[in-house]
Structure 1
Amino acid sequence: MSDADPNAVVREYYDLVDAGQYDDLVALFSEGVRYERPGQEAIEGRDALLAFYEKGRPLEDGSHEVHDVVVDGDTAAVRGTFTGRQNGDDVTFGFADFHVFEGGEIARRYTFTDRDEV
């Protein structure tokens, strides 16, 4: 997967999140992935990432609309909108994500929103 197109990979990531296909989703990430969200504990490793998507993610029943993907070297910056449910409430909010690639896999991911927890 070393010659993977970061634009295509990150778009696939959001499709897989929205479809709830978490096994396929974590396969896009390196074994030692680190996922950081301001004010929350970092998630480290594929197993922890899978557990987060299966049990720990406060967002549910939603979808991502990707507005922009900008690729610079090994980093893909994504701007979009999430619409769905969080803790039983309907929510819509913007997000900015950064995906850093190593060897064609996402090695680090950073998420920024105006929510306290995602």
Structure 2
Amino acid sequence: MADDTTELDTGADPDSDPDPETMVREYYELVDAEEYDDLVALFTPDVRYERPGQGAIEGREALRRFYETGRPLEEGSHEVHDVVVDSSGGDVTVAVRGTFSGRQGEETVEFGFADFHALNAERDAIARRYTFTDRDEV
């Protein structure tokens, strides 16, 4: 599928700031490759990850445990369809729409997702992550 990307004016110098879209796309590559050391390094030490109907994951170590042993999805990959970078209020949020295909337990699954990644003030790490899917639990 075609990749559509929209970037709102950040007012930032693109040569001096990390690229938020690149950072977030790297997140999906690292999840799919199960490279959790590099994945966790994309986040702030006090990261908060929220998923509807489930308790928030707080901190890098809790995030690492989730990906290593608590994540119900496996053997799959993300396909990113749309990315929107918004910094209109001064903060940077990257919105992503896509699909995941893989396994959840013994079941083969494919579902849509929408994720929001809020970057820290330095724009060099993800401070908050929110996930919404068309499944009850992931």
Residue 3 (structure 1) aligns with: 17
Amino acid aligned to 2:133: T
1:26 partner SS: helix
Q: Which consecutive residues of structure 1, in runs of 5 or more, have no partner in the other structure?
A: none
User: Shift of residue 39 of structure 1?
Assistant: 0.2
Give yes or no for the alignment of 1:88 onto 2:106. Answer: yes
Give yes or no for the alignment of 1:71 onto 2:67. Answer: no
User: Shift of residue 4 of structure 1?
Assistant: 1.4
Measured in 1, the distance between the counterparts of 2:63 and 2:70 equals: 9
User: Shift of residue 20 of structure 1?
Assistant: 0.4
Percent of aligned positions that are identical: 74
Residue 114 (structure 1) aligns with: 134
Q: CA RMSD in A?
A: 0.9
Amino acid aligned to 1:24: D
User: Which has more strand, going by share of residues?
Assistant: 1
Measured in 1, the distance between the counterparts of 2:129 and 2:24 equals: 11
Measured in 2, the distance between the counterparts of 1:115 and 1:44 equals: 22
Residue 70 (structure 2) aligns with: 56
Measured in 1, the distance between the counterparts of 2:32 and 2:49 equals: 18
Amino acid aligned to 1:51: R
Residue 31 (structure 1) aligns with: 45
Q: Which consecutive residues of structure 2, in runs of 5 or more, have no partner in the other structure?
A: 1-15
User: Shift of residue 50 of structure 1?
Assistant: 0.2
Consecutive aligned runs of 4 or more in structure 1 exceeding 3 Å deviation: none
The normalised TM-score by structure 1 is 0.97
Amino acid aligned to 1:97: D
The normalised TM-score by structure 2 is 0.83
Residue 41 (structure 1) aligns with: 55
**1:37-86 superposed Cα distances (whole Å, 9 cap, x missing partner):** 00000000000000000000000000000001100010000000000000
1:38 partner SS: coil
Measured in 1, the distance between the counterparts of 2:125 and 2:57 equals: 16
Give yes or no for the alignment of 1:20 onto 2:34. Answer: yes
Which of residues 74, 99, 105 is equivalent to 2:125? 105
